[in-house]
Structure 1
């Protein structure tokens, strides 16, 4: 039987890297293609690819947290205040640590952390898909994640790669029953991005389901239950700790972080503002094409999630990707960020990975290669243009 037909049990630690090697090498190749294309495109336009990767948009906010700590803010001409308290602390902490241990600047430390985290994320995505659907699907899953149109963000000094790595490995340890490790990783994910709540929810749902199924299990399983309960306890500590600290620092209580996000124009309105944004595109013919594209993109995301359900994905993956998708699509601000915010929702890609894994190797490689080339060109064009908001 093929790897796709026989998902592997947890591989021995000594063989885990060897098993993941094709996925990691392929992932590194795709990212190298994207970076080479970016550097050539930027040079032709008189721009610095290094600056685009390390010192633009959110990466500036992270390096300022690493440099000066929290408390820095910008007052816009319209009176809005953007505070760096909106940015969770794990990435700037790591930037500060790497800079302290090396000659790198905070910005370059962020780039190094992002690069290593992207490899860890690719490995975690491979591990999850390999565990559920087999090695070929695992390799394809890592590569599909690499060739996403906004995949260049994985190579930036941003927190998406770090968060995806922590989320993927937390979900993998949930699937393999290592609850304390899963809780620790979920707590770190909660220190990285607000959407860390999705990892916590996935762990809690999986743990509660296990408790319900084991109500009649003999008390000899007590030690396992205690580890599961400890994992549940650890999981929300990161996110809850930071949110409560922000509330204390601002003097606004537990809702202080939501006030900070509100000042940035972020919130959760069930998708109302996004629907109005899409609807406004149909006021003229040229922009109507963009509106059609947005509707098609949302429909694709929903179709992928439905495919995940029909595919019978494990419940933790469905809970995690469902929450990440809902938070990305239903946020009230920064509509151009939605593709980037969906990057961590890697379980949505598993139906595509399984379909590719069923093709002959040459055919799947040709498909992924063509998409990788298109993604590299788009990433270079995007960062040299509007880029991440």
Structure 2
């Protein structure tokens, strides 16, 4: 039988004629390298700034604010509390257990002390988060948007928190991979990751809501009964968050035990009343500060509106909406709100999609400028009021 293929072309192992070189599909390497570059710049700026002030960048990253509480839980587990001069009590039960558990495990398996183990977990988690953000951006708007999304998240003003022994990086990684699993219909993975996110931060409820509502919308659209894997994923999703809150309730002897502990810390959900009062105080005092706060809130709301107009998948919209609502409508230290918004990465998708349409050189210059600004702000912020 005569072979009709061109004899001059190289053949594949199966004997068919090769069709010429194939283009390699873009992967996450560009996004991860760019992410590492932005965060390395931030750490360098922090080291230089701290050296000029005579402070320790290492201590700022591992030994202040909430990182101290996580380290105490890792070293002695729960039971530590501080009685304040006014009679109030701050209990370590306010801090969810996954990060200190990982700190404890890593410190036992390596020479790292608990605070350094916490920082190592955050660094690795931030890479995992950047990877998931890249995949999400790529799925929705293409490879360049995926890269831009990862870089934008690294270059937000409070991006330095991603390098601290805090739980934001771990939570964002778990949340982003859970949402990625939802987008791909991997319900058992989505539920498992949502459960782990629920063991990391109180806002883990946002991931649970996203998984459940996305599943309900899919079932409604398909007009079918849920499969076994979807049911299992939906049952797993709330286990982490509900399990820890229930455990605290049993330990304190009160159904509202966790809410009571948060209240002792001055935290709680009041619909944004306290935050509105804080903004009003600034408007009637330092007018510039009040206007700045209003501009910040307006920016966050505008970004969410853009997400809705962009018709993001329901899972992303629900997740971002709950994170934003809990951040803006909760009581507590108001300087923490930018940090609380850090996991709301879908807010950055409209900007990532827009940058992806720019010429590469122009987009790179804009992202580089943001990275420099973020590095300088993070170094100044961490050496000042910082993220309690």
Instruction: Answer yes or no: same fold by TM over 0.5.
Output: yes
1:163 aligns with one of 157, 171, 176: 171
Structure 2 partner of 1:145: 153
Q: Quote the residue 2:185 is aligned against.
A: 177
SS in 2 for 1:370: helix
Report the counterpart of residue 60 of structure 2 in structure 1.
52
**Number of corresponding residues:** 365
Offset of residue 175 of structure 1: 0.2
Return 31-40 or 205-214, whichever deviates more. Answer: 205-214
Unaligned runs of 5+ in 1: 1-14
Q: Give CA deviations for 1:90-121 in whole Å, capped at 9, x if unaligned.
A: 00000011001100000100010000001111
Shift of the alpha carbon at 1:214? 2.5
How far 1:140 sits from its partner (Å)? 0.4
1:14-59 CA distance string (max 9 Å, x none): x99x601111000000000000010011011000000000000000
Query: How is 1:1-389 mapped onto 2 (pairs within 5 angstroms)?
Result: 19-215=27-223, 217=224, 225-253=227-255, 255-284=256-285, 287-389=286-388
Paired with 1:243 and 1:226, the residues of 2 have a C-alpha distance of 27
Rounded Cα–Cα distance in structure 2 between residues aligned with 1:381 and 1:212: 50
Aligned partners of 2:190, 2:239: CA distance in 1, in Å?
A: 13
Alpha-carbon shift at residue 334 of structure 1 (Å): 1.1
- SS across alignment from 2:90: strand
TM-superposition CA deviations, 1:202-260 (whole Å, max 9, x none): 00001111222222x5xxxx7x711111100000000111000000001112x110011
- TM (normalized to structure 2)? 0.93
Q: What is the distance in 2 between the residues matched to 1:212 and 1:385?
A: 50
> Per the alignment, in what secondary structure is the counterpart of residue 227 of structure 2?
helix
Matched residue SS, 2:322: helix
Question: Partners in 2 of 1:308 and 1:229 — Cα distance?
Answer: 29
1:129 positional shift: 1.2
Q: Could you tell me how far apart the structure 2 residues matched to 1:109 and 1:168 are?
A: 22
Larger-gyration structure (1/2): 2
Please say which of residues 121-130 and 31-40 is displaced more in the overlay: 121-130
Distance 2:209 2:147 in 1: 27
The alpha carbon displacement at 1:283 in A equals 2.6
TM-score by length of 1: 0.92
SS at match of 1:19: coil
- Matched residue of 1:128: which SS? helix
